[in-house]
Amino acid sequence: MSLVLKKLDTYFWPINFKMPIDDGKYQSVKFSCQFKRIKQREVEEFQKKFSVTDLNLLFEASRECAHQVVVGWKDVLDEEGNNIEFNHENLDQLLEIPTLAIAVSTTYITSLTESKSKN
């Protein structure tokens, strides 16, 4: 297959996240983010930011990455089971769930690098 350079290159990727619930247990949730490919040097910059030990810097970098690469989603629902429309306001709400921004941003980086590192 030939490489096709696209002006806007996106793809859906599953996010698996464990949310804390009662009695010290976790509930696994799954949804998909539509990711926009960014330039290699931008990926490298985020990888550097993710390697910091300061949690505040990690949270900030994760939100920044998510805002840059998430352009849509599937299976994000409200309490009544209705799909929540993707927009920047709703993305901000989603990223306020503790550590979810880290899960989204690291999943994005892993989606780009994991298969390459296995080879």
User: Residue for token digits 């490489």?
Assistant: 3
Give me the residue spans of the domains in the chain. 11-112
Q: SS3 for 98?
A: coil
Q: What is the dihedral of CA 63, 69, 71, 72, to 10 degrees?
A: -70
Query: Taking a C-beta distance cutoff of 8 angstroms, is the pair 43, 109 a contact?
Result: yes
pLDDT digits (tens, 9 = 90+) for 67-119: 999 999 999 999 999 999 999 999 999 999 999 999 999 999 999 987 654 54
pLDDT-wise least confident of 26-30, 47-51, 68-72:
47-51
Relative to beta strand 70-74, strand 10-20 is unpaired
